[in-house]
Structure 1
Amino acid sequence: MTNEERRVADLIREAFQGVTLGDGIGLLEAQGMDDYECGETLAKYRAKDEKNDWSAIPAGTLNRCNSSLSFFDPAGMRFHLPAFLLVDLEGTLPQEMDFKLGVLSEYRRSQLSLLSPAQRDAIREFLLLCLQKDPEGFNAPSIRRSVDTYWAPSIDT
């Protein structure tokens, strides 16, 4: 990891420190939703889900359950997002988190509705780092637009 990647990783860890899942949709539960599992099976998955420490979720599990990002509610997204971002920074996530956070549908925006200003700032720094690494990438114009609008720092008045 570069110094800049470490800086952004530290921002993410600090911003999401202490976040728990609460009543949110868990990683395995969301994967079961993607697989159209029945309620009983979803409950079994939910019982196995990590609920207290997002940093305890192994990279391999995040990779196997990467479609869960599409099924999280706002609490599930807030809990799991830092784990996905850190795995992405390590270069071991097969999908593009910059795309997931830079090209925002209304649904994705609703999933991000519980983020605090510090968490939003950490994600903005992650996206800026992605743009720095690949300023002319296919998704760069959309990511740049979202950084300037949706992820722009809020101004306290």
Structure 2
Amino acid sequence: MTLREWLIRFIEGAFAGVELHDGTTLYEAAFHASYGFDCHELSLAKTAERTDWRRVPVDHLFARTDAVFFMNPAAKKFYSPAILRAVLQEGIRDGLMYDAFLFDLSGLIRGSRGDDISFAKLYNTAQRAAFVRFCKFAAFNAPKEFGREQPLRILERIRQLDSPAK
């Protein structure tokens, strides 16, 4: 088993049983990202996968790069492992979804305001470890594919969350 395959299995284990429930579907988020102009996305939302993130079509993830910015916390938790697994299996393709995901993740880790749910509260220990392992893999094992700077920045922000307050 390669390190990449091991990481995919780790992510699958960490997010096993995560369901979308009443979270924003990928298609509803894409509808909002289009400022409400793409009604086809709403029709897709009616039949969207809600119980097993592994069944979310990879091509649908890559085609809706801005949707991540319009997801509520339940959707972020449901679609995050699908995105991580997709880029590990398929590569980053044009890079837009990967970049949008990392940018959004970085903001989530940095802090929350008002009614936002923080990274540490949204994801359990195993799920946070999956993000750490992914970022380490990206930065140290596949920097030409995934880049090095943004994963290292995310790792540093996660480390700061885990360090005791001074």
TM-score w.r.t. length of structure 1 = 0.79
- Aligned equivalents of 1:44 and 1:122: distance in 2? 33
TM-aligned CA distance change 1:62 to 1:144, over 3 Å = same
- Paired amino acid for 2:148: A
- Aligned equivalents of 1:27 and 1:99: distance in 2? 14
Q: What corresponds to 2:158 in structure 1?
A: 150
Q: What corresponds to 2:107 in structure 1?
A: 105
RMSD: 3.3
Q: Which has the higher contact order (CA 8 A, sep 6+)?
A: 1
**The residue matched to 1:105 in structure 2 has which SS?**
helix
* Post-superposition offset of 1:107: 8.3
Deviations 1:99-143 (A, max 9, x none): 733772258755745111110101110010001135589953343
- Paired amino acid for 2:63: R
* Post-superposition offset of 1:73: 1.0
Count residues with an aligned counterpart: 154
- Aligned equivalents of 1:138 and 1:93: distance in 2? 7
Identity of aligned residues (%): 25
- Paired amino acid for 1:133: N
TM-aligned CA distance change 1:122 to 1:138, over 3 Å = closer
**The residue matched to 1:104 in structure 2 has which SS?**
helix
* Post-superposition offset of 1:144: 1.7
* Post-superposition offset of 1:17: 0.4
Q: What corresponds to 2:48 in structure 1?
A: 49
TM-aligned CA distance change 1:98 to 1:33, over 3 Å = closer
Q: What corresponds to 2:128 in structure 1?
A: 120
